[in-house]
Structure 1
Amino acid sequence: MAKKSMKNWFGLGKKEASNTDEAKVDPALLVSSDDETAEEKAIRRAADLQLIADFEKNSAVSEIDIITPEPVVIAPEVVNADVAADSVDEADKSVVTDSAPVNDEPAAEEPVDKDKFFTRLKRGLSRTKGNIGSGFKNFFRGKHIDDELFEELEEQLLIADLGVATTTRIIDNLTQQASRKELKDAEALYDILKKDMAELLHKVDEPLVIDSNNKPHVILMVGVNGVGKTTTIGKMAKKFQGEGKSVMLAAGDTFRAAAVEQLQVWGERNDIPVVAQHTGADSASVLFDAMQSATAKDVDVLIADTAGRLQNKAHLMEELKKVVRVMRKHDATAPHEIMLTIDAGTGQNALSQAELFKEAVGLTGITITKLDGTAKGGVIFAVADKFEIPIRFIGIGEGIDDLRTFNSEEFIEALFSNEDKK
């Protein structure tokens, strides 16, 4: 369109061919002794034609320059779909939830007043207490023992995520106790229920013991995405350091750069060495190097992180088995603790997680996090009842002191406490 408009502007239009022919006329013929004006006209036309040619040339370039380019679609980097699904999800939650709790705490852990901790424990369990524990006081008040009562209680236990098997066991025992003792008043069931639930947790009340004669004591942390493994590692490291133990961390979650960086932040703030490699490195290799380094430096405790993996991804569970095999090449007794981290808000899915991780690598301990963030903390009873694997720690908040050694008596007393001390 640009070419046509310019030609019309010069008044040439369809006469382009003839004008071009005129421009090629022998200059000698243009010099006429008869008409000097004709010569000037020819020169002007030749100049005009040259101007048109120059314009056409420049116009073509301009048209190319202003053409809007087609959008270029850059193909994303091809990533193993299973690996991406199993690692990116936690990256999102963890950057927001896992790294936030990192606090610039002093190197030595200050002693925590037991009364203050008990108050924090009750506050942390306040949402769960509404469904179970102290919430049972109001539930039983003024009611008679009958089938309807047990049906309502069964529903309440299921809502709190105790699970079908554990709930059935509790209801059956309460029914037998009520019948044998010929109880009529429902409030009499409160103490029986509290005792039954305490017995479930008493079976898994076994604090983690670090064997100082076998250095390094290797703790391998496993679990699915987003449960707070990395944060738990940092808090555990601070706890052990406060007890006078030397600690080293191994960044075995090589899928996520954020996990490595977060672990390094914990290390820098608490003067704890961290063994890490580049993102995408072989996790087993990282942990093997860490074990060698910890042995050479006579470190008391080595805590090894691993990538979050869905329990239903067989090939990822095989990778975890490989990690354990490689660690045992350095120390046949390692890892000395394989600790599963469970998010209390996960509900009954926690049971399938524990089942498959137990089958894959065996579990010697469990940490249950985020008990303060859910009203369904009853999953701790379901896990304890089904697996009887020691619960080492519980998380009831974001503070560094909110990861505490599990004590079943304190837990039950806090859960069933009717006081809301601040």
Structure 2
Amino acid sequence: MATPHKLTADQAVSFIHNLPKMQRTNSLKNIKLVLDQLENPQNKVKTIHVTGTNGKGSTCYYLSHLLTATNQKVGLFISPFIIQFNERIQINNQPISNKELVELVEIIRPVLARISDQQPEFVITEFEFVTVLGYLAFAKNQVDYAIIEVGIGGEHDKTNVITPELSIITSIGMDHQALIGPTLADITTEKVGIIKSTRPVVIGHVPKVIRPIIQKRIREQHADSYWLNQQFNVAQQVIKTQHQVYSNIKSVANVEQIDMAIAIQAYELLVAKLLTPKEVVEVLNSVQIPARYQLVHKGPDIIVDGAHNVAAVKELKKYLASHYPDKTKVTILTAIMKDKDYRGIFNLLADYKIKVTTIDNPRAAKQTDFAQLDFKNLTYIEDYVAYIKQWLQQARPTDTLIICGSFYFASEVIKFFNKN
């Protein structure tokens, strides 16, 4: 297999997106083979590994900002992106440039060609390629820390080729049952695979019923553990750890305060000379998480949130109860992936007017998927852009439109508002 010609940035992204989506096996053999050919860049930087059903992206952002504010050079690996592919790989909270993206892709492509020549059955997926891209970028930039967000699960996730300084489990709930389930115990067993020997772990909101599974892994790995509501806690805009009290947290939702608390606890474990509590709070209060309770239009308010499973929609409901208590003035516009529990999501939102739509994504639920559902408050919308424009024309200043259901949908909507 000959090495292809040099790419433009658009061609590089297109090349990545055209790679297979799923590996035939959950083995890490293929990604390890590529990394080995690249002299294992993942071993040349200190890493923090983050998993969780919800909250992992926010926690990664908060921790990245805390570390950069302490003069650390920080790599951030997240998914999905909201506006631009480059967001998936960041240095000091800035996406890598198109130039660097192309350079990294050009380093990896010949390696794939060599392996394919020797092993015709060799396959690398899009996520594996992007993961290699991230580790290579962080090694080349000589970051002090690289924060790595897990794709799905933990034990068999393609990012799980590292021995991190610290692991984080933000939350555990029912999601991706077909891939890492079907039970909550199965999901937990998969996620605790990121806990490594003698490396501390920070644990957020997890149900009591699966705590023994986490504790067993912690004992086996001789790891120190830091649990929400034990070593650190959150109450009424105040975060307390064993060493400090952080007051005047200004997050829009309680779940965001939990993500901040997890980030603070991790930060305290990683950095010797800390910012003052006041400085920490100032940093956290300044962070805008993309597609997380994001206000894209004011008066009437339009909020975009990536809530895409039952646990996240429960948190969204709490946010609505405190910020928009009059349910008659709230409309939900949602596009949902077909592998999600959309019946459970619609049950949670039964008190609201729901407009359901679809997006151009093979995983997206279509009109036929919703046809058999018997929800009186549910209406299918063919063209969500036309609907948003119509809603804006007809809405009163006190009305609210909540757009949720998928980060892919959130991305499309935010791009629409950025253009308009």
Report the structure number with the largest CA radius of gyration. 1
| TM-score for the superposition, normalised by structure 2 | 0.31
Higher relative contact order (CA 8 A, sep 6+): 1
Higher normalized strand content (fraction of residues): 2
Provide the TM-score with structure 1 as the length reference. 0.30
Larger % of helix: which?
A: 1
